[in-house]
């Protein structure tokens, strides 16, 4: 979006051509994503599912109760920033869509207490075919 704005508005206002610089736009996107993540994770932390512990893991009792699935917070931030700063074409949009699907699969896996390996494999296969 910003890249498109820089291409179309630089004739009207010269400094807008700075938005066509990949270095500037990606640096801005990185800083924006980092700031939003640092601000939003502490505010949304209590909504995340908790680790139930694993039966055969070493020191599993220490991990019980810890939040899992934080990707459901920072992946949408990343996707939104990418839509804002990356030049949009079909490959980038397809990649972002697959990232969203993988994030949702991981979140639902954490929320449900763990899918079977076959279900996870099927989800990965479907997303891989889509991508």
The count of structural domains within the chain is 1
In the prediction, which pLDDT does 62 show? 67
pLDDT per residue as tens, the chain (131 positions): 888 888 888 888 888 888 888 899 999 999 999 999 999 988 988 887 777 666 666 666 666 777 777 888 889 999 999 999 988 889 999 999 999 999 998 888 877 777 788 988 898 899 989 87
The structure tokens listed for 70 are 């934080």
Q: Is 85 exposed, middle or buried, given 0-12, 13-18 or 19+ CB atoms closer than 10 A?
A: buried
pTM of the predicted structure, to 2 decimals:
0.75
| Residue-range definition of the domain harbouring residue 55 | 2-130
In the prediction, which pLDDT does 64 show? 73
Sign of CA dihedral 101, 5, 86, 42: negative
Query: How far is 20 from 73, CA to CA, in rounded Å?
Result: 29
In the prediction, which pLDDT does 82 show? 92
Closest listed residue to residue 77, CA positions, set 114, 29, 109? 29
Alpha helices for 10-70 (secondary structure H): 22-44, 60-63
């Amino acid at each position: 979006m910003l890249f498109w704005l820089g291409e179309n508005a630089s004739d009207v206002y010269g400094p807008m051509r700075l938005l066509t610089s990949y270095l500037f736009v990606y640096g801005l996107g990185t800083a924006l994503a980092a700031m939003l993540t640092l601000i939003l994770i502490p505010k949304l932390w209590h909504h995340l599912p908790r680790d139930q512990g694993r039966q055969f893991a070493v020191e599993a009792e220490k991990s019980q109760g810890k939040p899992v699935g934080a990707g459901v917070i920072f992946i949408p931030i990343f996707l939104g920033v990418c839509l804002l700063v990356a030049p949009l074409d079909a490959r980038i949009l397809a990649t972002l869509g697959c990232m969203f699907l993988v994030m949702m699969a991981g979140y639902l896996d954490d929320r449900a207490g763990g899918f079977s390996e076959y279900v996870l494999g099927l989800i990965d296969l479907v997303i891989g075919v889509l991508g």
